[in-house]
Amino acid sequence: MSDKSRRPLALAALSLLIVAPLAGCPGDPPEDLEHGVVYLQMLRGESEADSPYAGTATIEVTLLYLECLIDFYEANPDYQQYGPEGALVFGTREDGGEGWFDRLCEDDDPEALDCTVTSFRQEFDTSRQLTVTYAVNGGDIENRLLPFGPLPIAELAACQAGGQPTVRVGSNGAVRGIDGNGDTIWNTESFNPPEAATGQGASIRIRASR
C-alpha cells in the first residue's frame, strides 16, 4: 500500500482516538470546598395534632460551636465572618469565594426545604455560635431537611485528638419559626441528637410546637 493510500486511514484512526475520550468525558468535577453543612430535619412535635409550621415566613437557627470549632476560629481569625477569608465564605458567589450566602439553600437533596438565606450572624463574645436566618419560599416545612452552615470540614478544622467540627442545639429556643409580622409562632419542643458534625450525614431531628 502506498503512503498516499495509508494517509486517509491514519487520519481516520487519529480522529477516532481524539473523539472517543471526549465523548466519554464526565461533567465538571465537584468543587473543592473547605466548608460544609449539618442538617436539621423539621418534624412535628409530639404534642401537635396538626403541623405547627403553617404560616411560617422565616426560620431562625442558632447552633453553638463546640471545642474544635472554637479552637479553629480563635487560631484562624481570618476565617471569622468579617475576616478576609470569612467574608468570601459567608458572602455571595460574586465576592469570589465559596459564597455560602447563595450556596447554602441550593441543595440537591429532594427532601431539602425550599429556602433563601437572609442573614448570617457569627458571635464570639459571651456565646460562640452561628445564627442563620432563612426565608421560606413556600411548600410544606414538615419532614423537610434544612441545611445549616457554613461549617469548616474536618480537614480544615484539623481537630485535635480525633475530634470533629461539631455544633450543638443549646436550648429549645435555638430553632424557631416567625410569621410575616415578625412574631414567633413555633419553637422547638424537643431535639435529638443534640449535636452534629460537618458532613456526617445524620441529621438533628427538630420537633416543633406552637
What residue spans define the domains of the chain?
34-209
Query: Cα torsion at 54, 205, 147, 119 (round to 10°)?
Result: 60
pLDDT tens digits, 169-185:
999 999 999 999 999 99
Q: Which residues are registered as beta bridge partners of 59?
A: 134, 177
Please say if the pLDDT value at position 76 is more than 60: yes
> CA-CA distance, 192 to 169, in Å (whole number)?
9
Give per-residue pLDDT as tens, 118-167. 999 999 999 999 999 999 998 899 999 999 999 999 999 999 998 999 99
Res. 6: pLDDT tops 80: no
Residue 194 has pLDDT above 60, yes or no: yes
The pLDDT, as a whole number, for residue 30 is 64
Task: Calculate mean pLDDT across residues 193-203.
Answer: 95
Mean pLDDT, residues 84-110 taken together? 96
28-31: list long-range contacts, CB under 8 Å, 24+ apart.
Answer: 31/98
Mean pLDDT for the chain overall: 89
Rounded-to-integer distance, Cα 17 and Cα 27, Å: 20
3-state SS, residue 58: strand
> pLDDT tier at 5 (50, 70, 90 boundaries)?
very low
What integer pLDDT is reported at residue 105 of this predicted model? Answer: 98
Residue matched to cell numbers 480544615: 156
No. of helices (H) and no. of strands (E), the chain: 5, 10
Task: Return d(Cα 138, Cα 17) in angstroms, integer.
Answer: 50
Q: Quick one: pLDDT at residue 201?
A: 83
Q: Check residue 16 and give its pLDDT.
A: 38
Question: Which grid cell sits at 159?
Answer: 481537630
Q: 3-state DSSP call for residue 73?
A: helix
- The pTM for the full model equals 0.86
Residue 24 banded pLDDT, cuts 50, 70, 90: very low
pLDDT at position 31 is 79
User: What pLDDT does residue 23 have?
Assistant: 42
Do the beta carbons of residue 186 and residue 21 sit within 8 Å? no
CA distances (Å), 9 to each of 22, 23, 142, 166, 188, in order?
20, 21, 64, 62, 72
